Amino acid sequence: MHQPKLFAKLPDYVNTPDGMAIDSEGNLILACPNYADPSRAGCLMKFDRNRTASKWVDVPVHPETGHAFPMGIAFGPDGDLYICDNQGWTDPSAVKCPGYPFKGRILRLRIRDNRVVKTTVVANGMEHPNGIRINRNHLYVTHSMLSRVKDPSGLLVSCVYRFHLDDEGIEITNTLEDPNIFTTFITHNRDIQYGADGIEFDKLGNLYVGNFGDGAVHRITFNDDGTARDNRVWAKDPAQLKSTDGMIIDSEGNIYIADFCANAVARVAPNGKVTRIAQSPDSDGQNGELDQPGEPIIWEGKLVVTCFDLVTGPQMVNTKHELPATLSELMFP
């Protein structure tokens, strides 16, 4: 197994780090939803190629909730940043807003000189937008819960939404009537009813989605018209991978997955074989331990991993939240 090391201790305006992306200049951008203390603004951090860290921008807040909670992020071809503003993680009692938690958004931010100069709401009214990837002219967004959809099995339904890069103002109903639903999932593990989460594309354009509670990676292939042809479990090994949070693919087609529940990182080879490559016991993460890993990214020859360090319970290695928040790194295998 690989030994995780400390990549960074984060400043006090960050308490819950999550999604990452790399900008056109090679800087690492970090989304900070700050669920552990929502009095801290949801923001974006920047690490330059010398690892110098700075606050980039605060994410524009929702006009009704007064908060922004940026999770998955991805840069579009024009440099605009698309963001999953996941309002659904916060305790509803802490947000005095009618209709909460169905207030999640997909935002498109144009940022110039460390300032948001234009904000476009691509979609609104979402229950749980989480991960995001761009392929050709579309956004693909994992939506981890569709609680309004009642499957006969009683199990959780989740989905991937698809939007055009230039869409705006789409109102989401969180039902199967939404025309932007690309494909759906059912989470069979009754002990962890949390669905579509990590998301990635391979070089051939196949889509991979992690079904969090099942610890399974689905592969979705496409018809010529861009619709989903096939959605099947492609990789699953409970001994090596318990949960599937954020994921990233390398040039050889290996997928690296944050195993949120097990404080671990797994690699899925192109043939679907799953191998756990790093794991940490419960800790405060101050020496670089994986402290509830949320998302990995490949940057400057390292596998950088965010430590969400917030959720506890019988299915989690993590037992409490500690500050300062941290990022870990692994030597790129």
- Which tokens go with 164? 């055009």
Residue 304 and residue 29: Cα distance in Å, rounded?
Answer: 12
Q: What is the pLDDT of residues 161-180, one digit of tens each?
A: 999 999 999 999 999 999 99
CATH number of 16-250: 2.120.10.30
Tokens of 165: 């890069």
With b meaning 16 or more CB within 10 Å and e meaning fewer, what string describes 93-106?
Answer: eebebeebbbbbbb
**Which pLDDT value is given to residue 89?**
80
Contact of 333 with 12, CB cutoff 8 Å: no
Identify the helix (H) or strand (E) that includes residue 119.
strand 115-126
Report how far residue 33's alpha carbon sits from residue 36's, in angstroms, rounded to the nearest whole number: 9
171 to each of 49, 62, 132, 167, how far by Cα in Å?
A: 39, 15, 18, 11
Q: CA angle, 103 as apex, 98 and 105 as ends, to 5°?
A: 160
Interval 300-315: pLDDT, tens: 999 999 999 999 999 9
Question: Which residue's structure tokens are 């990789």?
Answer: 235
Residue range 64-101, pLDDT digits in tens: 999 999 999 999 999 999 999 999 887 766 676 777 78
Domains of the chain by residue range: 16-250
Distance, CA of 142 to CA of 86 (rounded, Å): 11
At 41-69, the pLDDT tens digits run 999 999 999 999 999 999 999 999 999 99
Tokens of 305: 């991993």
Per cent of the chain over pLDDT 90 is 94
Q: Where are the alpha helices (DSSP H) in 164-222?
A: none
Per-residue pLDDT reduced to its tens digit, 185-209: 999 999 999 999 999 999 999 999 9
